């Protein structure tokens, strides 16, 4: 689900020294810019890319701000997975045009997947944009800023066939509890609806020593939860002999001293091996949550999508996982109205959702994307029918979530407090290992704590709990393997 994230003020700013990754002093054309703002649309990968860009800008002496009018540099880090997401970017650029007119020295940039997709066309459509940078060109950000200030319209995109994963020592992490760690970029699949192989390129994997070093650094900085990121994360491998596969990396990350939780996303059903299930069942630090996109419950549609698995094979993966981890939390992605999808095809998707009973689904109406095979096909499901199917699917899922969350009332769960609750003042919010959101009374000092809470109320999208929990309660719930509350902040 697309979300907007603005990186706000930092507690401390590093002094300007050199362009990250080089020994080159930061040029006056960069250090002359005093403030910046980054806005992010899209997935966790985009959010983490924004953290990297913010780290670079911090190291060059720029200070983050929240208001457009205060920013000398504004970067829009974009997503192009859905058509509306790209449209929102150009709408936002239109809003920023007046700021650019009032403050001509301001640098305005488009980054991320829309930048890689549209490239020079962004300058044609919005000539007041100064720079365009694809997602694998983050290390080039300082040079692109310099170029844009000298001649405007600086372009930094990549050849999708490249296998480089840019390393970044400068990362400004937004969360006080969770760290994103990129393990790979790109995807070698050719799903007919997906633009990722073009906007993010082919698969490129970081070496295990670099990944594990970053995990250790995160723990040293007090971040007790790590989420390993990749467009096709469980296809990660290292070396021709395949001595390092994703299972080995997952176990290595889970056993880093000080790590309390490890998550990973996004997985592909073809690469979700039994060894990953075994690891999740064997290591307490591996969260009991899996995001496994199914896209459709119809084998006919799955073949047209080139997903490479059948409904039965997908359900076999889920069955094996639940056999070993009965309380695992499951989420998925589903596309409604793919070309050729019949009412019978859609009903098979509904049957799959009823059978699996996901904790969360991310559901989307199909829209043709450039550089995909399906773009050339007849988009033959009427718009009104797509919307009706999406409504039926979401209504079913809301009911399932409400029923599943009601079943949790009275249970004791452990949460890691992430931050203030989005629902109510005077509350904080945390997540269980299964990725359920729980709200409890508390203040910002609770962030970073693991807390045992009893669920008292439930809705379709979140839970409410109370604390503290008495010793008798914990004794009666020993089978749930709940630890005593502890503060890791």
Dist CA 254 CA 239 (whole Å): 21
Distances in Å between the Cα of 380 and the Cα atoms of 83, 122, 127, 321, 364 are: 17, 30, 36, 36, 16
Dist CA 38 CA 86 (whole Å): 17
By the 8 A CB rule, do 363 and 334 touch?
A: yes
**Cis-peptide, bond into residue 323, ω within 30° of zero:** no
Count of positions (residues) in the chain: 489
Nearest Cα residue to 57 out of 44, 72, 68: 72
Domains with residue ranges and CATH for the chain? 5-156 (3.40.50.12160), 178-406 (3.80.30.20), 412-487 (2.40.50.140)
Dist CA 395 CA 412 (whole Å): 28
Dist CA 218 CA 125 (whole Å): 41
Q: 7-55, pLDDT tens digit by residue?
A: 333 333 333 334 444 444 555 557 579 999 999 998 898 999 999 999 9
CA max distance for the chain: 70
Q: Tokens 């603005």 appear where?
A: 6
Question: What is the DSSP code (8-state) at residue 429?
Answer: E
Q: 365-396, pLDDT tens digit by residue?
A: 999 999 999 999 999 999 999 999 999 999 99
Secondary element (H or E) of residue 44: helix 44-59
Ranges of H-type helices in 260-342: 274-282, 299-305, 311-324
Secondary element (H or E) of residue 58: helix 44-59
Q: In what order do the strands lie in the sheet with 225-229?
A: 178-182, 225-229, 261-265
Task: Give the predicted TM-score (pTM) of the model.
Answer: 0.86
3-state secondary structure 244-312: EEHHHHHHHHHCCCCCCEEEEECCCHHHCCHHHHHHHHHCCCECCEEECCCECCCHHHHHHHCCCCCHH
Task: Give the chain's end-to-end CA distance (angstroms, integer).
Answer: 30
Q: 401-432, pLDDT tens digit by residue?
A: 999 999 999 999 999 999 999 888 899 999 99
Query: Quick one: angle between helices 383-406 and 343-356, nearest 10?
Result: 10
Dist CA 212 CA 417 (whole Å): 24
Question: What is the DSSP code (8-state) at residue 63?
Answer: E
Q: What's the average pLDDT block by block, 10 residues per block, for the chain (489 residues)?
A: 36 38 52 89 91 93 94 95 81 94 93 94 95 92 92 86 67 92 93 93 93 96 96 90 89 98 97 97 98 98 98 98 98 98 98 98 95 96 98 98 96 96 90 97 93 95 87 43 35
């Amino acid at each position: 689900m697309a979300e907007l994230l603005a990186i706000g003020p930092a507690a401390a700013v590093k002094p300007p020294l050199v362009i990250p990754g080089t020994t080159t002093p930061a040029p006056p054309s960069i250090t002359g810019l005093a403030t910046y703002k980054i806005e992010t649309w899209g997935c966790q990968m985009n959010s983490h890319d924004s953290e990297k860009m913010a780290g670079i800008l911090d190291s060059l002496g720029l200070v983050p701000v929240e208001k457009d009018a205060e920013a000398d540099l504004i970067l829009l880090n974009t997503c192009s997975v859905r058509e509306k997401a790209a449209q929102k970017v150009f709408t936002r650029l239109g809003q920023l045009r007046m700021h650019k007119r009032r403050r001509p020295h301001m640098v305005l940039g488009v980054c991320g997947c829309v930048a890689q997709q549209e490239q020079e066309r962004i300058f044609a459509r919005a000539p007041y944009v100064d720079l365009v940078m694809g997602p694998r060109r983050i290390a080039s950000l300082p040079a692109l800023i310099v170029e844009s200030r000298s001649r405007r319209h600086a372009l930094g995109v990549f050849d999708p066939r490249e296998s480089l994963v840019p390393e970044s020592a400068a990362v400004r992490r937004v969360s006080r509890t969770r760290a994103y760690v990129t393990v790979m970029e790109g995807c070698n699949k050719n799903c007919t609806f997906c633009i990722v192989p073009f906007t993010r390129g082919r698969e490129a994997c970081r070496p295990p020593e670099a990944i594990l070093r970053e995990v250790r650094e995160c723990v040293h900085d007090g971040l007790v939860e790590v989420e390993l990121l990749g467009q096709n994360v469980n296809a990660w491998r290292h070396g021709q002999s395949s001595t390092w596969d994703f299972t080995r990396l997952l176990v290595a990350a889970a056993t880093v001293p000080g790590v309390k939780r490890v998550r990973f996303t996004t997985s592909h059903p073809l690469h979700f091996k039994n060894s990953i299930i075994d690891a999740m069942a064997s290591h307490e630090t591996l969260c009991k949550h899996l995001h496994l996109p199914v896209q459709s419950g119809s084998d006919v549609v799955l073949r047209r999508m080139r997903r490479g698995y059948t409904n039965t094979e997908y359900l076999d993966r889920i069955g094996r996982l639940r056999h070993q981890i009965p309380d695992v939390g499951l989420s998925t992605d589903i596309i409604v109205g793919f070309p050729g999808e019949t009412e019978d095809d859609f009903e098979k998707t509904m049957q799959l959702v009823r059978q699996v009973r996901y904790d969360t689904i991310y559901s989307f109406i199909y829209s043709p994307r450039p550089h995909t095979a399906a773009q050339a096909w007849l988009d033959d499901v009427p718009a009104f029918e797509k919307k009706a199917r999406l409504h039926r699917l979401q209504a079913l899922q809301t009911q399932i979530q409400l029923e599943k969350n009601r079943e949790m009332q009275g249970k004791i769960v452990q949460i890691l407090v992430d931050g203030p609750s989005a629902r109510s003042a005077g509350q904080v919010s945390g997540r269980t290992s299964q990725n359920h959101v729980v709200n409890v009374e508390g203040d910002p000092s609770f962030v970073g704590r693991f807390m045992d809470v009893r669920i008292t109320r439930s809705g379709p999208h979140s839970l409410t709990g109370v604390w503290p929990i008495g010793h008798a309660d914990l004794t009666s719930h020993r089978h749930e393997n709940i630890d005593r509350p502890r503060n890791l902040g």
